[in-house]
Copies of this chain bind each other. A is one copy, B any other.
Amino acid sequence: MKQSVHHFTISTRGKGLYEFTRTLSEWVRDQKIHTGLLTIFCRHTSASLLVQENADPTVQGDILSYFDRLAPDDGPYEHNYEGLDDMPAHLKTALTQVQLSIPVIDGGLVLGTWQGVYLFEHRVRPHRREIVLHLLGE
Residues of A whose CB lies within 8 Å of any CB of B are: 1, 3, 5, 35-37, 39, 41, 43-45, 50-53, 56, 58-59, 61-63, 65-67, 70-71, 75-79, 81, 87, 90-91, 93-103, 105, 110-115, 130, 132-134, 136-138
In angstroms, Cα B70 to Cα A39, docked, is 29
Q: Which residues of B contact A100 (CB under 8 A)?
A: 99
CB distance from A96 to the nearest CB of B (A): 6
- The prevalent SS among residues of A at the interface is mixed
The answer to whether B94 and A96 touch across the interface, beta carbons within 8 angstroms, is yes
Q: Which residues of B contact A99 (CB under 8 A)?
A: 51, 100-102
Q: Which residues of B contact A56 (CB under 8 A)?
A: 79, 81
